[in-house]
Chains A and B, each alone.
Chain A
Amino acid sequence: MKKKDPKEKIIDLLQGNLTPEEAREVISGLEKDGIDAGELESLRRISHLIESVNPGEPSSDMDRRFYEMLANEENEALAAEKSLIGKRWFQASSFNVGVRIAAGIALFLLGWFTASWSGQKSNTDREMADVSNKLTDLKQTLVLTMMQQNSSLERIKAVNMLNEFDSADERIIGSLLGALNHDENDNVRLLSLEALIRYSSNPAVREGLVTSIANQSSPMIQLRLAEVMVALNERKAAPEFQKVLMNSGLNYSVRNKIKEAVTVLL
Chain B
Amino acid sequence: MIKKLIISKFLLLMIAIPVLCQGEQLIINLSPSLKNRIFIFENQKGSIRVIGYDGEDIVVNATPRFRETEKSGSDGMRRIEQNPFNIYAETDGSTIGLYSRAIGKTLDFDIKIPRNFSLKLKSLDNGNIQITNINGEIEVENANGDISLENISGSSVLSTVYGKISAVFREVKPDSPMMFTSFEGNITLEFPPAINAILKMKSGTGEIHTDFDLVPVMRQPVVKNVENTKIYTLEDWVAGKINAGGPEIIIKSYNGNITIRKKQVIK
Contacts and interface: CB of A to CB of B under 8 A. Distances in A.
B248 A160 contact: yes
A253 B225 contact: no
B181 A190 contact: yes
A186 B147 CA distance: 15
Interface string A174-198: 0000000000011100110000011
Q: How large is the interface on A (under 10, 10 to 19, 20 to 34, 35 or more residues)?
A: 20 to 34
Interface stretch (A27-35, A100-108, A216-224): A216-224
A67 B23 CA distance: 46
Contact of B222 (A151, A156, A198): A198
B241 to A, nearest CB: 15
Interface of A: 52, 57, 151-153, 156-157, 160, 163, 185-187, 190-191, 197-198, 200-201, 218-220, 223, 231-233, 251, 253
Main secondary structure of the interface of A (DSSP, over half): helix
A186 B159 contact: yes
Given A152-B139, A186-B141, A157 B225 contact: no
Contacts of A233: 226-227
B176 A232 contact: no
A244 to B, nearest CB: 16
Interface of B: 35-36, 94, 118, 137, 139, 141, 155, 157-159, 161, 175-179, 181, 183, 204, 220, 222-227, 230, 233, 247-248, 250, 252, 254-255
B157 A251 contact: no
A194 B157 CA distance: 16
Contact of B226 (A57, A151, A157, A232): A232
Given A190-B181, A200-B223, A185 B141 contact: yes
A218 B183 CA distance: 9
B225 A191 contact: no
A223 B203 CA distance: 13
Nearest to A200: B225
A61 to B, nearest CB: 15
Given A156-B179, A253-B255, A220 B223 contact: no
Contact of B250 (A191, A198, A218, A253): A191
A201 B229 CA distance: 10
Contacts of A185: 139, 141, 157, 159
7 contacts: A153-B155, A157-B176, A186-B181, A187-B159, A190-B181, A220-B252, A220-B254
A163 B161 CA distance: 27
List 3 tightest A-B contacts by C-beta distance, closest first.
A201-B225, A187-B179, A219-B183
Contact of A200 (B36, B94, B183, B224): B224
Nearest to A251: B183
Contact of A156 (B35, B177, B204, B226): B177
Contacts of A200: 223-225
A232 B158 CA distance: 29
Contacts of B181: 186-187, 190, 220
